[in-house]
Structure 1
Amino acid sequence: MTSSLRDIKVYTTYPHSCSYLDDQEATTLFVDPRQPVDKALYSQLSALGFRRSGDHIYRPHCAHCEACIPARIPVCEFTRSRGQKRIWQRNQDLRIVCTDEISDDEAFDLYRRYISLRHFDGDMYPAEREQFEAFLNNVWDCTRYFRFYDKATLVAVAVVDALEDGLSAIYTFFDPGVAKRSLGVYAILWEVEQARELGLEYLYLGYWIKNCQKMAYKSDYRPLQVYVKNRWTTLL
């Protein structure tokens, strides 16, 4: 069923306010939503710097800005920093459960609290059930939801897509009240280990934006590969 990349239609949005950089306009390139997608095509597009939001596959396509840079971790080369090793050890008591759906109240309540406390200034606030399910859905049957429990309490959910060459970290939300655990960092470290166990090469992290605090953290994971001028290279 996989189509040739040359046959895929794409569309661009009108310029709109950038979600990451103040006083910047953004333009987004979208794959035709009528395009049939399977795991192979999704994997090919991810290797070209595309991401998904719900069932939409997109990539920044701004005329005067190239700040959004696709990033991925080559998992076999990755080594934890001293601080990451501490975070890894700190969370070894968590119990992790994998599910293939996210429509339950337990997950949504955690998501709502996360958005309310961490992203109240963004366009995802206030959290709504319909937006939550559409954003994090399992449209191509490649998504898994890893639920992190402290005893019986859900403290984090990592939404992960399985690609042919790696895992794609779509979104992570967690209990802001347990900041000492650094659950966002731990989720990435755990996903790296999952990719290794599955014999996959990469953990795709989405877009690294050097001058955006919310997106710059990705350079803390080394080595990090970035997609620049149509090729993957190691960030120095």
Structure 2
Amino acid sequence: MNTQTTPSPQFYLTAPAVCPYLPGEMERKVFTHLVGPRAAEMNDLLTQGGFRRSQNIAYRPACEACRACVSVRILAGEFEPTRSMKRVISANRDLIATVQPAQPSTEQFALFRRYLDDRHQHGGMSDMSALDYAIMVEDTHVNTRLIEYRIREPGSGLSKQPQGELIAVALTDMMSDGLSMVYSFFNPKYEKRSLGTFMILDHINRARSLGLPHVYLGYWVKGSPKMDYKTRYQPQEQLMARGWERSLPPATDSDD
């Protein structure tokens, strides 16, 4: 009789480091490796428990004196876009989105570098090379896809290969209960298109069409203005001490 059991994941704690979101705060993370035949199952369970994936690592904040990071997921089936979101959808009706395997390309990396150089010159990813980008995309043991967004060219609908300028990319995990947006980037030249917003709206529609209830957005950081956009997508749930709870919607924009 085989009495061997599947090993449980081992969790580790990082050393304190400067928080990238809140001045004067220090952060720590608890993490584990997502490898082996149960990686996809573990990714589902850990994401539902407030973890995020980066390559083959699942992590979540474990700060000693701060609880500002809150996991957020959109309830896709109940979501209704605001008027400003509908304008974003209309402004991007000329885009065509294609789902690709998690395989990097030179075209993607050129767009990725342009995005970093414009938006995150001093961030932790600012010096990433083509090899680093390839590892970010390929180093996954779960069901991961790349969604490419291109400006549709005349006649491109007749081609088996996607045509048109690549202007946005989303790295997305396909989970049992939803889509998890791991990382997304876009051409900053098209600022008026609000491509970050559009990709989230597209993921909500994709989750709904697949019959999946959630779109996971990662962490909303209370007190960090650059994270406030995540609360605009309602209804949503936030992971609190007692589990996932519906959040109160923020004050709407004047044009909503």
Classify the TM-score, shorter chain: over 0.9
Give 1:137 deviation, angstroms. Answer: 2.7
Q: Tell me the residue number matched to 2:51.
A: 50
Larger radius of gyration: 2
The answer to whether 1:173 aligns with 2:185 is: yes
Matched position secondary structure for 2:138 = coil
Unaligned runs of 5+ in 1: none
Give 1:3 deviation, angstroms. Answer: 6.0
Q: Tell me the residue number matched to 2:251.
A: none
Q: Tell me the residue number matched to 2:216.
A: 204
Scaled by the length of structure 1, what TM-score is found?
0.93
What's the CA shift string for 1:154-197, capped at 9, x where partnerless? 00001110011110011110000000100000000000000011
The answer to whether 1:17 aligns with 2:18 is: yes
Q: Find the aligned partners of 2:14 and 2:36 in 1 and give their Cα distance.
A: 17
Q: Find the aligned partners of 1:102 and 1:40 in 2 and give their Cα distance.
A: 22
Give 1:141 deviation, angstroms. Answer: 4.4
Q: Find the aligned partners of 1:55 and 1:164 in 2 and give their Cα distance.
A: 18
Matched position secondary structure for 2:77 = coil
Q: Find the aligned partners of 2:6 and 2:21 in 1 and give their Cα distance.
A: 32
Counterparts in 2 of 1:76-225, with a 5 A limit?
76-137=77-138, 139-151=140-152, 152-225=164-237
- Count of aligned residue pairs for this structure pair: 233
Kindly report the root-mean-square deviation, in angstroms, between the aligned alpha carbons of the 2 structures: 1.8
Matched position secondary structure for 1:185 = helix
Which structure 1 residue ranges, 4+ long, deviate > 4 Å from structure 2?
32-36
Give 1:35 deviation, angstroms. Answer: 6.7
Unaligned runs of 5+ in 2: 153-163, 249-256
Q: Find the aligned partners of 1:85 and 1:64 in 2 and give their Cα distance.
A: 40
Q: Find the aligned partners of 1:20 and 1:34 in 2 and give their Cα distance.
A: 29
Matched position secondary structure for 1:115 = helix
Amino acid in structure 1 at the alignment position of 2:220: W
CA contact (8 A) 1:147 1:154 kept: yes
Q: Find the aligned partners of 1:201 and 1:210 in 2 and give their Cα distance.
A: 25
Q: Find the aligned partners of 1:65 and 1:134 in 2 and give their Cα distance.
A: 31
Identity between Structure 1 and Structure 2 (%): 36
Scaled by the length of structure 2, what TM-score is found?
0.86
Give 1:28 deviation, angstroms. Answer: 0.3
